[in-house]
Amino acid sequence: MGAIIALAKKDLLLLLRDKAGLFFALGFPLVMAVFFGTIFGGGGGGGGSSEPAGISVAVVDEDASAASSAFVDQLDASGDFEVTRSGSRESAADSVRRGTRSAAVVLTPGFGAASERVFWGDPATIEVIYDPSRGAESAMIEGMLMKLAFSGLGEKLSDADSVQTSNAEALRSLEDADDMGPLAKASLRELIGAVDTFFATGSESWMEEEEGGSPVGQMQWQPIAIETRSVREIETAGNQEEGDKGPGSGYDVSFPQGVMWALIGVSAAFGVSLVQERSGGTLRRLRVAPISRGDVLLGKALACYVSIIVASAALLVFGIVVFGVRPGSPLLLLMGMACAAVCFTGLMMLLSVLGKTEQAASGIGWAVLLLLAMFGGAMVPLFIMPGWMQSMASFSPVKWAILAIEGPLWRGFGVSEMLIPCGVLLAVGAGTFGIGAGVFGRMEES
């Protein structure tokens, strides 16, 4: 055991003095965690204070009506957009082409008049000019504009006077319509009349029923009410003693991903160090010493394991102290980290036999680890991947390691829920270590 500890101490000292190795074990994961935490809504419940910026759009009001102007104000006030008013669609389109705006939003002529009609007539039209390289943002903008439009519709239907004005306009438009049969016209006329009567009588009676009440307040209407709650809030609500917990922030997600990069960086560094021992001749010296091959490998594994634990713990402590990351269950978090460390120590052993030279081992090692990270969700969240990729993620230990760390951190996992990710990690660790050690032995004998 003394020899194993001596070997591990030596490797830890070597890692501490290897600036590049140390950066990839600790510095790089920290940068990734802070960077992505800040981008993805960091500051919600942590120490960060920056709000995510809205989508930058150029708005052109070609209608110049009160309704269109109010809509632009609504866009601006929503917080979803960073609005720049533009004088013409050409200049707005140019700003999109130059990449200074994500999209241009054009309120076309007739927007105001059309928005007055509720049940009949052409709809208010908004044109979105978008950058084809930012298709995802275009879809988001479309959704946000719909949300605002529905919100305006809800307010309109909550105001009896507005509905009645709108109905009168709709009835006039209906009478002028040439492309509709008499039966359809009669039906629509009846519907609009009924709505008109409902609002004409309803508003008076509501005012009488509740003195001082606002008819709008009573009739507040919207097509759908969506309430968003993070699973973290549900956990907090279920445990009142932990009421001091704020809502989860982006750092809750990014720091486990940062830990993944630490696991990857450390295992890559130690995988290469074993090849260095072989090519540099120190392995021969170690093997001549009165210690077994197993001692040499266990010493390397112990150093790798300790480095992973220390790097992961340092990252998480940094996240807790600086960014307000709050582990739900510290004990289970330790368990998750320990299992992830076993897994990546085993992977290190396997990586160390994949290349005969340091360059080959480093290249192959990083390639394998990056693939595992890509498919495991360490680079992009799994939910935005296609279905077949999400299925493949289960073959990546990175997915299970993220789950084993996120679980106790903010998903509220209990012991039983930790069993599967931890079991997978331990099995992968033991399997890859066994295969790596076996191949290592055969390489030594050949």
Give yes or no for a contact between 221 and 199, defined as CB atoms under 8 angstroms apart: no
Least distance between another protein and beta carbon 358 (Å): 13
Least distance between another protein and beta carbon 281 (Å): 3
Least distance between another protein and beta carbon 258 (Å): 26
| Start-to-end CA span in the chain (Å) | 28
Nearer to another protein (CB atom), residue 14 or residue 320? 14
Give yes or no for a contact between 30 and 258, defined as CB atoms under 8 angstroms apart: yes
Structure tokens at 406: 């996120």
Least distance between another protein and beta carbon 277 (Å): 9
Question: Do you know the residue count of the chain?
Answer: 446
Distance CA 307, CA 14 (A): 11
Give yes or no for a contact between 60 and 33, defined as CB atoms under 8 angstroms apart: no
Nearer to another protein (CB atom), residue 22 or residue 83? 22
Nearer to another protein (CB atom), residue 216 or residue 291? 291
E runs forming strands in 95-141: 103-107, 126-130
Nearer to another protein (CB atom), residue 270 or residue 413? 270
Q: Which residues contact 39 (CB under 8 A, 6 or more apart)?
A: 52, 250
Least distance between another protein and beta carbon 311 (Å): 18
Nearer to another protein (CB atom), residue 2 or residue 387? 2
Of the CA atoms within 13 Å of residue 368, those in its CB half-sphere come to 20
The secondary element (H helix, E strand) that includes residue 81 is strand 81-85
Least distance between another protein and beta carbon 295 (Å): 9
Which residues contribute to the site for another protein (CB under 8 A)? 2-3, 6-7, 10, 13-14, 17-18, 279-282, 284-292, 444-446
Nearer to another protein (CB atom), residue 14 or residue 435? 14
Distance CA 82, CA 105 (A): 12
Least distance between another protein and beta carbon 271 (Å): 17
Nearer to another protein (CB atom), residue 280 or residue 423? 280
- Which residue in this structure is represented by tokens 């990270």? 373
Q: Give the single-character DSSP code of 101.
A: S
